[in-house]
C-alpha cells in the first residue's frame, strides 16, 4: 500500500557515525567504476546525503584487466578534485589509494613497491572472487615486513571463505584488518555474502566498512539500505575504524 512512498523516501544519513568512506571506484574511466565526472558527482552527492563527510577513492589495480599506474591515477584524482570544487561539491577528498588484487603480478608490484595507501599506511588488497589462491599468507607476511598494514576488502564476498575457514582465522591472527561492504548487509551480492557479512560482524572480525561504490546503481541501493533497521542497528552496535581516517 505504501510502496510508492517507500520508493521516494529520502536517504537517511545513517553513515554519519562512520564519517569516512575508504573504498569506492569514483575516479572516472580507470576501472569498472564511474564512467564520467558527472556520474562521480552524482554518487558523491548521494554519499553526502547518507552522512559521509570524507572519502578515499580506491581504483582497481589488477593486471591485465585494469593495468593502472600510480602516477596516472594520482593525476586523474587531482583533476576530479578540481571538477568537484568547480561544481560546489563539499565532500572532503582525503586521498587516493588502490584496491590491489593479489594475483600473478603482485610479486612484481612488491619489488617496485609504489603502493597508493590509505592514511599513508594501509594497503587495501582483494582476492579472486571465484577461486582460492595459494600463498596469500606469504604475501601478507611480506607486506607486513615492508612496514605496511593490510586491509582485506570484502571478505564476505569470497564464496570459498567463511568465519570457520582456517585461512580466514589465520589472516586474522596475522593482523589483517577486514573491510566489509555495507551493501552486503542488505543482500546486494546475494544471500551467501549477506550471511557471511553478519557472521563476520558477530565474530568481531570487521574493522572497516566501505561502500565499494561503482556507479549510480550502487548509490540507489545505498539509499534503500539507509532505511534498513538491521543495518542501522549494526552501525550502532559495532565499533569501526572509519572515523580514525
Q: Interface residues with Fe ion (CB under 5 A)?
A: 99, 212
Q: Which is nearer to Fe ion, 39 or 99 (CB)?
A: 99
Q: Which is nearer to Fe ion, 53 or 154 (CB)?
A: 154
Residues 80 and 26 sit within 8 Å (Cβ to Cβ): yes
Q: Which three cell numbers mark 215?
A: 556507479
Instruction: Give the Cα separation of 56 and 123 in Å (integer).
Output: 12
Q: Which is nearer to Fe ion, 133 or 232 (CB)?
A: 133
Phi, psi of 147 (to 5 degrees): 95, 5
Instruction: Give the Cα separation of 157 and 190 in Å (integer).
Output: 9
What lies within 8 Å, CB to CB, of 180 at 6+ separation is 154, 155, 156, 197, 200, 201, 206, 208, 209, 210
Minimum CB–partner distance for residue 6 and Fe ion (Å): 28
Minimum CB–partner distance for residue 166 and Fe ion (Å): 25
Minimum CB–partner distance for residue 65 and Fe ion (Å): 13
Q: Which is nearer to Fe ion, 207 or 212 (CB)?
A: 212
Closest to 53 (Cα-Cα) out of 85, 25, 24, 90: 90
Minimum CB–partner distance for residue 159 and Fe ion (Å): 17
Q: Which residue is nearest to Fe ion (CB)?
A: 212
DSSP class per residue in 193-241: HHHHHHHHHHTT---EEE--B-SHHHHHHHHHHTT-HHHHHHHHHS--S
Q: Is the peptide bond between 35 and the residue preceding it cis, with omega within 30 degrees of 0? A: no
Minimum CB–partner distance for residue 5 and Fe ion (Å): 33
Q: Which is nearer to Fe ion, 12 or 119 (CB)?
A: 119
Closest to 88 (Cα-Cα) out of 44, 127, 55: 44
Q: Which is nearer to Fe ion, 39 or 212 (CB)?
A: 212
Minimum CB–partner distance for residue 86 and Fe ion (Å): 27
Amino acid at each position: 500500500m505504501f510502496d510508492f512512498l517507500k520508493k521516494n523516501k529520502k536517504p537517511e544519513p545513517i553513515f554519519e557515525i562512520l564519517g569516512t568512506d575508504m573504498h569506492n571506484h569514483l575516479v572516472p574511466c580507470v576501472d569498472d567504476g564511474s564512467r564520467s565526472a558527472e556520474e562521480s558527482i552524482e554518487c558523491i552527492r548521494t554519499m553526502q546525503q547518507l552522512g559521509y563527510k570524507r572519502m578515499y577513492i580506491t581504483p582497481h589495480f589488477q593486471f591485465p584487466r585494469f593495468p593502472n599506474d600510480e602516477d596516472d591515477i594520482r593525476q586523474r584524482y587531482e583533476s576530479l578534485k578540481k571538477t568537484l570544487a568547480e561544481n560546489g561539491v563539499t565532500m572532503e577528498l582525503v586521498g587516493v589509494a588502490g584496491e590491489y588484487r593479489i594475483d600473478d603480478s603482485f610479486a612484481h608490484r612488491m619489488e617496485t613497491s609504489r603502493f597508493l595507501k590509505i592514511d599513508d599506511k594501509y594497503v587495501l588488497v582483494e582476492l579472486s572472487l571465484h577461486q582460492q589462491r595459494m600463498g596469500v599468507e606469504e604475501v601478507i607476511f611480506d607486506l607486513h615486513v615492508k612496514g605496511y598494514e593490510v586491509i582485506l576488502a570484502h571478505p564476505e564476498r569470497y564464496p570459498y571463505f567463511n568465519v570457520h575457514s582456517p585461512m580466514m582465522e589465520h589472516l586474522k591472527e596475522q593482523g589483517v584488518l577486514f573491510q566489509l561492504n555495507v551493501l552486503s548487509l542488505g543482500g546486494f551480492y546475494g544471500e551467501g555474502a549477506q550471511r557471511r557479512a553478519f557472521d563476520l560482524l558477530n565474530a568481531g572480525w570487521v574493522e572497516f566498512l566501505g561502500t565499494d561504490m561503482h556507479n549510480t546503481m550502487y548509490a540507489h541501493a545505498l539509499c534503500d539500505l539507509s532505511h534498513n533497521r538491521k543495518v542501522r542497528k549494526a552501525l550502532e552496535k559495532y565499533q569501526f575504524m572509519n572515523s580514525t581516517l
